[in-house]
């Protein structure tokens, strides 16, 4: 694919922090406007879980499927042209069919489990899939060590993330979150080096609570981000999340969901924020917080939308850098 | 299904010792002629292995698929009307596609792995599948503890059984076998009690070296068989194995494959042996060894063949019992 931009991004080393569908789409957009070697996508692994013996890494799969243009375009997750023979048989057998795993998708989990069993770490396994699928940007799990997002519900339960998210369709009101194992999770050399070399870190429109916070909680991660140019794309649009429970979580935690809540979430971290046209009235609130806003369409319906949002996000960072230079 | 026999087998408590395809077919035959509650099939688990994170129990699957009439009639293993979407995707991903696992079959392995992970033992998991599939005879793994058949080849290698059998298509000449873990494998209460109560133990036409020997090697198993009426159905017909490497193994170990070799294999254990019409000339050799032969068609092409061979096998045992009484 020919990469053509009005602004030259070829000198920009970019790290994107991504969760699932929204993050994957922006990462795909960034891969369309940046030279392959200039982009590293660091992906949340707090959703990873063992399911019927298989190691499943939902966000890594969504990101790699999206980057290699084989994600199901309707749902954003899973594979296009998927079949469901095994899941149907698991269901008939009374097995756990709540996690929607298609026949082709299953092969990913089987091969990942096999490779991990052979002693490869998650970074190497992810690289293996990227090579197989012709993905030339770097995709890195946030850590090779297990970090497991736990959702504490207001009715006093502790749910593993996928149980909360898929099995219970994120219905139970949340009280708080914990990232099991995060205090022992180590930064990988690949993640450290990518962030160290980055001119810009882009926080994708992913769930701040359960997609970005797990990464930020890894010991040393925030330290690495210090003095980096960081911009975020708001996952909240018009007070709502396009997908998933981000807005619902803010509400349940007593915070009005909106771009200001996201700005507050990333306080001290971001210097710019891309918000949707529908939220343009809130631009001043961001400026008052010292955050440079960029107002544009943030709803990525097409590949062109993805590329355009990516370009706008990079432009915001360049504006901020210019501003810094000229201050 | 109506069970009709010329001889009344309703008082006979039977245990069948079975490996894969041949054993499964005779077990199916026995289930057709015996009341459900009178039959227990004890199945080899020496072939069990972990594959891409899944616990696979090939002989138990072949036996339960066959008993519930959903085995692939062409191959004898796997499921009828199977699809192969996941295996194809695993293959494309460069994963281990040598073990032919279909989409429906995969569900069995996934659910088994899930249930074992929940703390059920293999006996309980097998019972779970039997209930799901309407199998009313008892199917028991030979042990809940891992026993792994290792094939030592003449070229100095040690192969896990499925690697030898499937991956290398049982081509490498064998030198000897070992059953890893067998000295620590415990008899289950279910196996002990079934054999204890059995009037007759039938050794199915399975591979003596790698399907029956693993069971016989479990500490206490031979002891349980002492003083039991045991008959075998020869897995060697006209000097050949109908399926698999039994005859080839005898040859490679320097033994002429034939019904006499099988009789020698089960020396001190069996009192009767069912042999094929093609081997009728060898009947006298068996008699000379104190083994009562029964000559019949042992090639099970149809369900009727299975039922007929089962009935002949039971009749042989009854003849032997009568003989014992009248001696």
Measured CA to CA, the distance from residue A205 to residue A246 in angstroms comes to: 10
The yes-or-no verdict on residue A324 having pLDDT over 60 is no
Q: In a 3-state reduction of DSSP, which class is residue A199?
A: coil
Question: What was the pLDDT predicted at A323?
Answer: 61
CA B162/CA A309 separation, integer angstroms: 52
Alpha carbon distance B267, B284 (integer Å): 16
Q: Which residues contact B85 (CB under 8 A, 6 or more apart)?
A: A83, A85, A86, A103, A104, B103
Q: Cβ neighbours of residue B320 under 8 Å, at least 6 residues apart? A: B229, B231, B271, B272, B292
3-state secondary structure chain B: CCCCCCCCCCCCCEEEEECCHHHHHHHHHHHHHCCHHHEEEEECCCCCEEECCEEECHHHHHHHHHHCCCECCCCCCCECCCCCHHHHHHHHCCCCCCCCCCHHHHHHHHHHHHHHHCCCCHHHHHHHHHHHCCCCCEEEECCCCCCEEEEEECCCCEEEHHHHHHHCCCCCCEEEEEEECHHHCCCCHHHHHHHHHCCEEEECCCCHHHHHHHHHCCCCHHHHHCCCCEEEECCEECCEECCCCHHHHHHHCCCCCCHHHHHHHCCCCCCEEEEEHHHHHHHHHHHHCCCEEEEECCCCCCHHHHHHHHHHHHHHHHHHHHHHHHC
Question: Tens digit of pLDDT for each residue in B51-101?
Answer: 999 999 999 999 999 999 999 998 889 999 999 999 999 999 999 999 999
The answer to whether the CB atoms of B114 and A132 lie below 8 A apart is no
Average pLDDT over residues B276-301: 96
Angle at CA of residue B298, ends B293 and B301, nearest 5° = 170
A111 touches chain B (CB under 8 A): yes
Partner B contacted by A304 (CB < 8 A) = no
Residue A79 three-state SS: strand
- The C-alpha angle with vertex B133 and arms to B132 and B138, in degrees rounded to 5, equals 95
**Interaxial angle between packed helices A85-92 and A103-117, expressed in degrees from 0 to 180 and rounded to the nearest 10:** 80
Nearest CB among B52, B87, B107 relative to A113 is that of B52
Strand order in the sheet with B174-180: B158-160, B148-153, B174-180
Phi-psi region of B143 (alpha: psi -120 to 50; beta: other; left: phi over 0): beta
Chain B residues touching A65 at Cβ < 8 A: none
Contacts of A90 in chain B (CB under 8 A): 107, 110-111
- Give the CA dihedral B133, B138, B143, B149, nearest 10 degrees: -70
pLDDT of residue B321: 84
Please state, in angstroms and rounded to a whole number, the distance separating the CA atoms of residues A309 and A291. 18
CB contact B296 to A (< 8 Å): no
Tally C-beta pairs within 8 A across A and B. 102
Query: At residue A7, does pLDDT exceed 80?
Result: no
| Strand pairing report for A236-237 and A240-241 | antiparallel
Using one digit for the tens of pLDDT, what is the confidence trace for A165-187?
Answer: 999 999 999 999 999 999 999 99
* Per-residue model confidence as pLDDT tens digits over A240-297: 998 899 999 999 999 999 999 999 999 999 999 999 999 999 999 999 999 999 999 9
Q: What SS3 class is residue A145?
A: coil
Chain B residues close to A106, C-beta within 8 Å: 86, 89, 106
pLDDT by residue (tens digit) across B155-208?
A: 999 999 999 999 999 999 999 999 999 999 999 999 999 999 999 999 999 999
Q: Is the pLDDT of residue B261 over 60?
A: yes
CB B282 within 8 A of CB B236: no
How far apart (Å, rounded) are the C-alpha atoms in residues B135 and A70? 42
Would you say B23 and B15 are in contact if contact means Cβ atoms under 8 Å apart? no
Is the pLDDT score of A326 beyond 50?
A: no
What is the ipTM, given to two decimal places? 0.90
Rounded CA-CA distance A261/A300 in Å is: 22
Which secondary-structure segment (H or E) carries A39? strand A39-43
> How does strand A240-241 pair with strand A272-276?
unpaired
Average pLDDT over chain A reads 94
Q: Which residues of B touch A100 (CB under 8 A)?
A: none
List CB contacts (< 8 A) between A51 and chain B. 114
Q: Is residue A4 over pLDDT 70?
A: no
- Tell me what pLDDT residue B323 has: 61
Q: Rounded to whole angstroms, how far apart are CA atoms B170 and A51?
A: 33
Q: Please, what's the largest Cα pairwise distance for chain A? A: 67
- Indicate yes or no: CB of B86 within 8 angstroms of CB of A89: no
Q: Does residue A1 have a pLDDT over 70?
A: no
- Report the distance separating Cα B30 and Cα A110, nearest Å: 37
Per-residue DSSP letter, A71: B
Task: Tell me whether residues B54 and A55 touch, CB distance under 8 A.
Answer: no
Judge: B52–A111 Cβ closer than 8 Å, yes or no.
yes
* Least confident piece of the model among B38-47, B72-81, B206-215: B72-81
Give the nearest chain A residue to B131 (CA atoms): A93
Please report the pLDDT score of residue B6 as a whole number.
Answer: 60
Q: What is the spatial distance between Cα B180 and Cα A280, in angstroms, rounded to a whole number?
A: 69
- Could you report how far apart the first and last alpha carbons of chain B are, in Å? 38
In percent, how much of chain B has pLDDT > 90? Answer: 91
Establish how many alpha carbons lie within 13 A of residue A306's alpha carbon, considering only the half-sphere containing its beta carbon.
21
Which residues in chain B have Cβ-Cβ distances shorter than 8 Å to A132?
A: 93-94
Residue B325 has pLDDT above 60, yes or no: no
Mutate to test the interface with B, among A56, A57, A95, A105 (most CBs of B within 10 A): A95
Residues 34-73 of A with CB under 8 A from B: 50-55
Categorize the per-residue pLDDT at B4 as very low, low, confident or very high, splitting at 50, 70 and 90.
low
Indicate if the pLDDT at residue B20 is higher than 80: yes
Residue A248's pLDDT is: 95
Inter-chain touch B94–A111, beta carbons under 8 Å: yes
pLDDT value of position A327: 37
3-state secondary structure of A149: strand
CA closest to B50 among chain A residues:
A114
Q: Is B114 within 8 Å of A83 when comparing Cβ atoms?
A: no
CB–CB of B103 and A111 under 8 A?
A: no
Report the residue of A111, A115, A132, A134 to disrupt the B interface, i.e. the one with the largest count of B CBs within 10 Å.
Answer: A111
Q: What is the pLDDT of residues B118-128, one digit of tens each?
A: 999 999 999 99
3-state secondary structure of A270: coil
To the nearest whole number, what is the mean pLDDT of chain B? 94
Chain A environment of B96 (Cβ under 8 Å): 114
Whether chain A has a CB inside 8 Å of the CB on B110: the answer is yes
Mean pLDDT of A230-234: 98
Contacts with B114 from chain A: Cβ below 8 Å:
51-53, 95-96
Average pLDDT estimate for A188-199: 97
Query: Is residue A302 predicted with pLDDT exceeding 70?
Result: yes
pTM value?
A: 0.93
Q: What is the mean pLDDT of residues A297-315?
A: 96
Whether A281 and chain B come into contact, CB under 8 Å, resolves to no
For A14-326, CATH gives 3.40.50.10680
Q: Is B130 on the interface with A (CB under 8 A)?
A: no
Query: What pLDDT score does B5 carry?
Result: 58
| Contacts by B321-326, CB closer than 8 A, 24 or more apart | B321/B199, B321/B229, B323/B292
pLDDT at A325: 43
Chain B residues whose beta carbon lies within 8 Å of the beta carbon of residue A56: none
Cβ atoms within 10 A of the Cβ of B124, count? 14
């Amino acid at each position: 694919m020919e990469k053509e931009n009005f602004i030259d991004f070829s000198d920009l080393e970019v790290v994107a922090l991504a969760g699932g569908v929204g993050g994957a789409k922006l990462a795909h957009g960034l891969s369309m406007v940046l030279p392959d070697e200039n982009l590293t996508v660091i992906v949340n692994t707090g959703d990873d879980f063992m399911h019927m013996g298989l190691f499943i890494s939902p966000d890594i799969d969504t990101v790699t499927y999206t980057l290699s243009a084989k994600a199901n375009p309707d749902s954003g997750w899973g594979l296009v042209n998927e079949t469901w023979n095994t899941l149907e048989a698991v269901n008939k057998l009374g097995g756990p069919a709540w996690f929607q795993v298609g026949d082709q998708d299953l092969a990913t989990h089987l091969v990942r489990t096999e490779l991990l069993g052979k002693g490869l770490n998650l970074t190497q396994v992810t690289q293996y899939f990227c090579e197989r699928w012709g993905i030339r940007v770097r995709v890195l799990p946030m850590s090779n060590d297990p970090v497991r997002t736990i959702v504490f519900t207001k009715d006093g339960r502790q749910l593993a993330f996928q149980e909360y998210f898929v099995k219970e369709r994120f219905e139970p009101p949340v009280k708080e979150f914990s990232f099991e194992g995060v205090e022992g999770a180590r930064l990988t050399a690949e993640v450290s080096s990518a962030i160290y070399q980055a001119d810009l870190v882009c926080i994708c429109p992913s769930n701040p609570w359960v997609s970005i916070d797990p990464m930020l909680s890894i010991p040393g991660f925030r330290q690495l981000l210090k003095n980096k140019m960081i911009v975020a794309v708001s996952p909240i649009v018009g007070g709502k999340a396009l997908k998933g429970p981000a807005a619902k979580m803010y509400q349940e935690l007593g915070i009005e969901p909106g771009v200001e809540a996201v700005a507050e979430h990333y306080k001290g971290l971001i210097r710019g924020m891309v918000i949707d046209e529908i939220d343009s009235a809130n631009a001043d609130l961001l400026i008052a917080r010292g955050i440079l806003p960029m107002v544009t369409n943030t709803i990525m319906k097409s590949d062109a939308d993805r590329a355009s949002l990516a370009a706008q996000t990079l432009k915001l960072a360049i504006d901020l850098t210019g501003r810094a230079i000229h201050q």
